[in-house]
Structure 1
Amino acid sequence: MIVTKMSRAVMPSMDNGNGILFGGKLFSWMDEIAGIAAARYDGGKVVTVAMEEAAFRTPIPVGKYIDIVGEVISVGNTSLRVRIRVLIDRQEDIAAEAVFVFVAVDEEGRPRKVNDEK
Structure 2
Amino acid sequence: MSYKEKVVSSETRIFKAVFPNTVNHYDTLFGGTAMQLMDEVAFITATRFTKMRTVTVSSDKIDFKQPIPHGTIIELVGRVVHVGNTSLKVEVEVFVEQMYLDHREKAISGTFTFVAIDENKKPVVIEI
The TM-score, its normalising length taken from structure 1, stands at 0.94
Among residues 13, 27, 34, which one is paired with 1:5 in the alignment?
13
The reply to whether residue 27 of structure 1 matches residue 35 of structure 2 is: yes
Structure 1 position 108 matched with structure 2 position 120: yes
1:37-80 CA distance string (max 9 Å, x none): 00110001000000012110000000000000000001000000
Unaligned runs of 5+ in 1: none
Q: 1:54 touches 1:98 (CA, 8 Å); kept in 2?
A: yes
For residues 95 and 122 of structure 2, the distance between their equivalents in structure 1, rounded to whole angstroms, comes to 35
Q: Alignment partner of 1:115: what SS?
A: coil
More helix by share: 2
Mapped contact 1:43–1:115 kept (Cα < 8 A): no
Q: How many residues align?
A: 115
Q: Secondary structure at the match of 1:113?
A: coil
1:76 to 73, 81, 84: 84
| Equivalent residue number for residue 42 of structure 1 | 50
1:97 aligned onto 2:115: no
Query: For the pair shown, which has the larger CA radius of gyration, 1 or 2?
Result: 2
Q: Distance in 2 between the 1:53 and 1:85 partners? A: 12
Query: TM-score with structure 2 length normalisation?
Result: 0.87
**Percent of aligned positions with the same letter in both sequences?**
38
Aligned CA RMSD, in angstroms, stands at 0.9
